[in-house]
Structures are given as structure tokens and as C-alpha cells.
Amino acid sequence: MTTAGDIMHRGAQWIPAHETLDRAAQLMRDLGVGALPIGDSNDRLCGILTDRDIVVGCVAMGHDPAKVTAGEMAQGTPRWVASDADVGEVLQVMQDHQIRRLPVIENKRLVGMISEADLAQHLTEDQIASWAESVYARTAGR
């Protein structure tokens, strides 16, 4: 059985909710990623921040990324999977919630992230096609 732990990208890092978006952008650049999980003061997942969130939700709205925090950008209920979750569960969560990046948690700690690139490297063409059709068909026009 292939698990979330098998396909995730290890070494994911939190951005604390109190950190500003300019710092988040720098961390994304340094890590070579387009998304960061947002952690609250108790190291609990409270959201995901993407590079698109910074551009569309802050800069394009005329806000200063040095004055807006990651926590202010956190919206909705964050989704995640356990590291021992079956890949079918991973795909289902991503499809059901139309998300392209998924944090992986083990013993209440962030241990990795699953992105589209991770799926492409570890799944069959049929699995990828089904996932992409489900996620992108619902988000077309956004």
C-alpha cells in the first residue's frame, strides 16, 4: 500500500501565523516552494499560504506585504492527512476540497507536503488524470 508518507515531499516548514507576507515570500523563495503551512502559537495547522495568495490577496489589493500577516490570510478549515493515510485517501481529500497541496501530519507534527509534482512522480497516469480532471474541472474560470 502506498501512503502519504511515501509520496510526500519531506522537509516542509511552517510559517508562524504572526510572520508577515514579505517574510513568507522570502522563505518560499529560499525553500523553492509555492506554499507554506501556517502554524498558530501552539504549532497547530491553521491554514496554507500560497504565492498566489500573497499576490492576489495582498499586493493586488494594494496592501503592504510587510504589514499583513500569514495568519490574516488563513481562511477556511485547513485540510491535512496522516502520514500513514492510503494514497486513495490523499486523492479523495484533495479532490473533495479542490486543493493542490496537502500537509502531512505525524504525531501532531508537520512532516511533509504533497503537491501536484509529488503526485506526478508517484501515481499512475490514470490516477493523475482522474485527479486532475476532478480538481481542475471544478476550479476552471477561477
DSSP 17-37: TTSBHHHHHHHHHHHT-SEEE
| CATH code of the domain in which 99 resides | 3.10.580.10
Q: Look at strands 102-106 and 81-82 and give their pairing.
A: parallel
For residue 69, what pLDDT is reported?
96
Label residue 131 by pLDDT band (50, 70, 90): confident
Q: Is-above-0.85 flag for pTM? A: no
Label residue 29 by pLDDT band (50, 70, 90): very high
Q: Which residues contact 66 (CB under 8 A, 6 or more apart)?
A: 20, 21, 22
Residue 87 pLDDT greater than 50, yes or no: yes
Label residue 78 by pLDDT band (50, 70, 90): confident
What's the chain's Rg over C-alpha atoms?
15
Question: Containing domain of residue 64, as a range?
Answer: 4-139
For residue 142, what pLDDT is reported?
47
Between 59 and 128, name the one with better pLDDT.
59
Residue 122 pLDDT greater than 60, yes or no: yes
Provide DSSP, the chain. --BHHHHSEE----EETTSBHHHHHHHHHHHT-SEEEEE-TTS-EEEEEEHHHHHHHTGGGT--TTTSBHHHH--S----EETT-BHHHHHHHHHHTT-S-EEEEETTEEEEEE-HHHHHHHS-HHHHHHHHHHHHHHHTT-
How many folded domains does the chain comprise?
1
Label residue 102 by pLDDT band (50, 70, 90): very high
For residue 138, what pLDDT is reported?
54
- What mean pLDDT comes out for the span 20-36? 94
Residue 75 pLDDT greater than 70, yes or no: yes
